[in-house]
Structure 1
Amino acid sequence: MATAAKRPKVPGGSELTRLQDFLRWCDSVGLVLSSKVSVSNEGTVADYGMLATADIEEGEVLFTVPRSALLHQGTAEVSALLEKEKSSLQSSSGWVPLLLALLHEYTSSRSRWTPYLSLWTDFRTLDHPMFWSKEERERLLRGTGVPEAVDKDLTNIRREYEDVALPFMLRHADLWSPRTHTLDLYTRLVAFVMAYSFQEPQEEEDNDDEEDEEEEERAPNPPMMVPMADMLNHVSNHNANLEFTPDSLKMVCVRPVRRGDEVFNTYGQMANWQLLHMYGFTEPYPSNGNETADVPVSNLYAVAARGVQSDVDRRLMEEQREVLGEMMQERGAFVFGTHGCLTDSELHTALKVLCMSKDELSEFKDNDGWEEDEEDEEEKVSQMFSNDGLPELKASWKRLLHETVRLTLRSYGDGGGEVVERDRALMEHTAALSCRQQRALQVRYGQKSILHKLMELSKS
């Protein structure tokens, strides 16, 4: 089944002209495109996409992008200024320098990237949930985790714009203007970076110095815009992958592609809620093999607290939560995929501690926990919390897990099995839904299906 459109159709009759201008620009900057592929807006799952014009074998290079054609703060016209004042542009995201570069290049009449950036008309075709109304997000995506993620994004975007980007622009009014480079455009460029940028993997360095190994991890490489690479659409079962070399970036075929088929890249192992949040699209159910559903740790605590009937029980519960608080975040979540729990060691620990008697907990604390699991023990835990192993859990563990999942399902706004049945009925009539409704449904139904199956597997 094909993926849903990554990039909605751009209105107007100049779409072909913009594409032709972009392809001529690619040739002028030294971007080499294989004769076995073509970029088109016909026969693809989205607006633009890449099609095979001949059979392609594994290992063949589809195109090569010279590093000089990449767009980031180091290649933009204002790169020297951004480097000189980088200390004033620090932020939690680390994206402000790139966004300032994009603001300038997008609105500059002499930008060398104009044929590339012109593919997006005012970035109005981006349809991330951050551009939905708050009411629409809450109504369509309640319980999925997306509304909370978007609220956090919008708060951080406004803060970075007002506290970091805007003061910098005002100091350099000859290059930026708040009237042109507004918060709205800044927000849309954030979505553009979220949806279309690439991040170079960190280089691995051999270092035997134990002190260096204890240092904090290096900050991730900043994102960059890679013309042509972002023309490929995504599916989890992809057939091409971007490779980084010192001089260029290359899109390489990772399995054979037949003539007429679409070439797909991948953005990584991402569930539909992540795809919608970051990229503005989803994969139709059940084609996304990376679908996941979260079960909040706080829900597990809430269910465990239901059994508290005395002061003794209450003190035991407080001790159990105190112990677990040192081992996991209370605002965290246990993650379940289509084949079982992906955070099995954390769930194993939580269920074990919450089901301990006072004496067992005292012994556990006296021994500073248990020894690190050996490899065979880790495999045992992994099997224990797989779909095959869940029905064999201890009865007390299953009851706790079952009721926690039931509570989690209620967060979607409905109760019991009706949660899944209602969306299953909608899945049979998606043609009557808007694009936003369809994508939200894919997210909800994928998550609810995992949780519903988990309830079935954890029945006592």
Structure 2
Amino acid sequence: MTGTYVDLKTEKFLQWLEATPGFKISEKISLVNSSEGQFGRFLIAKELINRGEVLFEVPRDRLFNVLNCSLSQDGAIREKLVSSVGHWEGLVLALLHEIKLVGPESKWWAYLQVLPESGGMETLMYWSDEESGMLRPSSIIDRIGRHEAQEMYKRIMSLSNELGLTEFESTTWDEFVDAASVIMAYSFDVEVIQAQKPVRKKTTTGNDDFEDEDAEAGTVKTDGYSKSMVPLADMLNADTHLCNAHLIHSKKFLKMKAIADIPAGDQIYNFYGEHANAELLRRYGYVEWGGSKYDTAEIPLRAIVQATAEYTGASLDLVRRILNVLNESSKIEEFLESEPLVLNGYDCGVDGTISPECITVLQILVAILALPDVNSFDDAVLENRLLKTTQIGLQLVNGSRITVSVVHLWKRIVNLHLEAYPSHAFREVTPDHFQLKGNELRQQMAQCVLESEIRCLQNCFLSIERDMNLLRDSTILNMLQKRTIDDSNGSNPEPPTKRIKN
């Protein structure tokens, strides 16, 4: 691979690894830096690596987490970090303490020096409002998490005071963002050996959303895992299409293994999870220029409301009322076993997969709005009719059947949402992105995200006809009328399957 070099920090980091007892690294790999701007440091194969070969081993005592950090040398603080402090808050405190206070005396100093410098990442937390606006109409804008991050910053400042760590009083918002962003992009969830039996199950690899983490409020002691920085493992780039290595957890080591043959000169790629390009950008600060294998676009509920009103001729208020009853009815909630159908948005996959909840909602809408005098239904009548329509709608969708009107409505919804995307997003990203920096790079990444979402919408435009069997609209009306007659005669037919089949 061209455009690579080994800088002084990388050399010192490699020397630190080699001097670490128990650390092992294959002679077949090399850690290099990229002169092309976006790759950063990464691993390449110096010669052919066979599937199953161990690339390196990291001893557990060299993971950076609340169990091993300098801050936990104080027994009382360690117990607090393990037993009552959330994963994110604990690791942010530990990382800030190591960088700001321990400094060059830290045994992890050589490792900390190869982590991104302040402001050196492209995650969405660093984007200005104007730059974030380039991502409209992507729903990722609503998931950047600035408010949640601000709340966490307040909690960490309060926690540091509670622990008597007065030196944290000078910690700025920017320093917190740097630490939290590095943790989001670089940390792994690592099972704690001989830990207390976890209350909740948790995946042992991968990164979490720090705003979601707060909602769970778990700790190392209750969850049985520790959010950890894994030296060298976090130097691997990731690619949903090219992943050829995987981190394996054992009792004493974390091992990176090849899961495919890797030719000499090829980059070694990890896997960060089934994330769309928008989510890769938000969490890790990069995009896959050809699109993620797991790209999705979200159809917002407001687009469904507007398109349904236009297609059926119903008023916006009536459509909203129907959705509100569908969402708030205790009868329908009981039938659905508390699994809601009405969501703020619905995913469309690059493979043409449409959220089954979305298809079911559309079937319910076109069916209920086709009933005579639906405008005059009071809440009780509307609720009962919606319950019957929901039962039939689920029965149809679970059997891969929908009525023709659902197809027409779906196409109108997709076209309406596509109109919200800027015209430039329908053009391919130019190939010079490797040389771009700053706002120009962010502009190209935003366009790449939008292009990925457009591809998802276009692929889903026709997939509903491909994947579902079509029925005449009169079919569901006849079923509804028959069920109404059966109910009035006192019969109680067997209800259809409740759960949605994915």
TM range (shorter): 0.7 to 0.9
C-alpha distance 61-175 of structure 1, shift in aligned 2 (>3 A):
farther
Tell me how far apart the structure 2 counterparts of residues 55 and 189 of structure 1 sit (CA, whole Å).
Answer: 36
The answer on 1:425 being equivalent to 2:427 is yes
Contact 2:26 2:54 in 1 (8 A): yes
Give 3-state SS (helix, strand or coil) of 1:295's partner: strand
Query: Residue type of the partner of 2:425?
Result: D
Give a deviation string over 1:279-309, Cα, whole Å, max 9, x none.
Answer: 00000124x2211111123432333244325
Greater mean alpha carbon deviation, residues 272-281 or residues 102-111: 102-111
Write the distance in 2 (CA, Å) between the matches of 1:367 and 1:49.
55
Which of 365, 373, 388 is the aligned partner of 1:354?
A: 365
Give the equivalent residue in structure 1 for 2:79.
84
CA drift at 1:363: 6.2
Tell whether the 8 Å contact from 1:73 to 1:97 is kept in structure 2 after alignment: yes
Displacement of 1:100 in angstroms is 0.3
Larger mean Cα displacement after TM superposition, 106-115 or 306-315 = 306-315
Distance in 2 between residues matched to 1:262 and 1:67, nearest whole Å: 25
* Per-residue deviation, 1:429: 6.5
How far off is 1:437 after superposition?
Answer: 1.3
- The 8 Å contact of residues 187 and 229 in structure 2, kept in 1 or not, is answered as yes
Aligned amino acid, residue 279 of structure 1? Y
Question: 1:213 maps to which residue?
Answer: none
Contact persistence 1:57–1:253 (CA under 8 A): yes
Relative to 1, partners in 2 of residues 1:121 and 1:86: Cα closer, same or farther, differing over 3 Å? closer
The answer as to 2:287 corresponding to 1:282 is yes
Residue 120 of structure 1 deviates from its aligned partner by 3.0
Classify 1:400/1:27 alpha carbon distance in 2 versus 1 (closer, same or farther; 3 Å): same
The amino acid that maps onto 1:290 is: Y
Letter in 1 for 2:346: F
Structure 1 unmatched runs, 5+ = 208-216, 385-392
CA contact (8 A) 2:247 2:255 kept: yes
Q: Alignment RMSD, CA only?
A: 3.7
C-alpha separation between the residues in 1 aligned to 2:319 and 2:181?
49
Q: Which amino acid aligns with 2:409?
A: L
Does the CA contact (< 8 Å) of 1:51 and 1:260 recur in 2?
yes
Give the whole-Å Cα distance in 2 for the aligned partners of 1:336 and 1:33: 42
1:120 paired with 2:126, answer no
CA distance in 1, matches of 2:224, 2:344: 23
Cα distance change of structure 1 residues 115 and 428 upon mapping to structure 2, 3 Å threshold: closer
| Matched-pair contact (CA < 8 Å) for 2:353–2:460 | no
CA distance in structure 1 between the partners assigned to 2:188 and 2:450 by the alignment: 27
How far apart, CA to CA, are the structure 2 residues paired with 1:318 and 1:258?
56
1:136 is aligned to 2:122: no
CA deviations 1:300-319 (Å, max 9, x no partner) are 23332443259998876654
**TM-score in terms of structure 2 length:** 0.72
Look up the match of 2:173.
Answer: 183
Work out the CA distance in 2 between the residues paired with 1:322 and 1:190: 37
Point out the more displaced range, 26-35 or 58-67: 26-35
Aligned to 1:365: 387
Matches within 5 A, 1:390-429: 394-412=403-421, 414=422, 419=423, 422-425=424-427, 427-428=429-430
Give the direction of change, closer, same or farther, for the CA distance of 1:451–1:46 in structure 2 (3 Å limit).
same
- DSSP-derived class of the 1:262 partner: coil
Q: 1:259 aligns with which of 250, 257, 264?
A: 264
Aligned match of 2:448: 442
Distance 1:301 1:89, change over 3 A: farther
Distance 1:49 1:184 in 2: 26
| Counterpart mapping for 1:85-100 below 5 A | 85-86=80-81, 90=85, 94-100=87-93
| Letter aligned with residue 297 of structure 2 | A
Q: Secondary structure at the match of 2:290?
A: coil
Q: How does 1:236-275 map to 2 (within 5 A)?
A: 236-237=240-241, 238-275=243-280
Match of 1:338 in 2: 350
What secondary structure is seen at the aligned counterpart in 1 of 2:7? helix
CA drift of 1:455 comes to: 3.8
Q: Match for 1:68 among 16, 41, 61? A: 61
1:215-226 to structure 2, matched below 5 A, reads: 221-226=225-230
Give the conservation status (yes or no) of the 8 Å contact 1:49–1:262: yes
* Contact 2:350 2:460 (C-alpha < 8 Å) held by counterparts: no
Question: CA offset at residue 451 of structure 1?
Answer: 1.6
Match of 1:36 in 2: 28
Structure 2 residue ranges without an equivalent (≥5):
198-217, 373-381, 471-502
- Secondary structure at 2:8's aligned position in 1? helix
1:105 corresponds to: 98
Distance change (3 Å), C-alpha of 1:243 and 1:397:
same
What does residue 170 of structure 1 align with? 161
- Scaled by the length of structure 1, the TM-score of the pair is 0.78
2:268 is paired with a residue of what secondary structure?
strand
The structure with the larger Rg is 2
Deviation at 1:341, TM superposition (A): 2.1
Partners of 1:73 and 1:101 within 8 A in 2: yes
Distance 2:47 2:35 in 1: 15
Q: Equivalent of 2:340, from 299, 307, 328?
A: 328
Q: Deviations over 1:32-81 (max 9, x none)?
A: 10111111115997121111112111111000011001001111111234
Where does residue 210 of structure 1 map in the other structure? none
**Conserved 8 A contact 1:73-1:82:** no
Q: Give the 3 Å change call, closer, same or farther, for CA 134–244 of structure 1 in structure 2.
A: same
Instruction: Give the structure with the larger helix fraction.
Output: 2
Equivalence for 2:307: 303
Q: 1:146 aligns with which of 125, 130, 140?
A: 140
1:335 aligns to what SS in structure 2? strand
| Alpha carbons of structure 1 residues 246 and 457: separation in structure 2 relative to 1, 3 Å | closer
Q: Distance in 2 between matches of 1:159 and 1:361?
A: 40
Aligned residues of 1:303 and 1:400 also touching (Cα < 8 A): yes
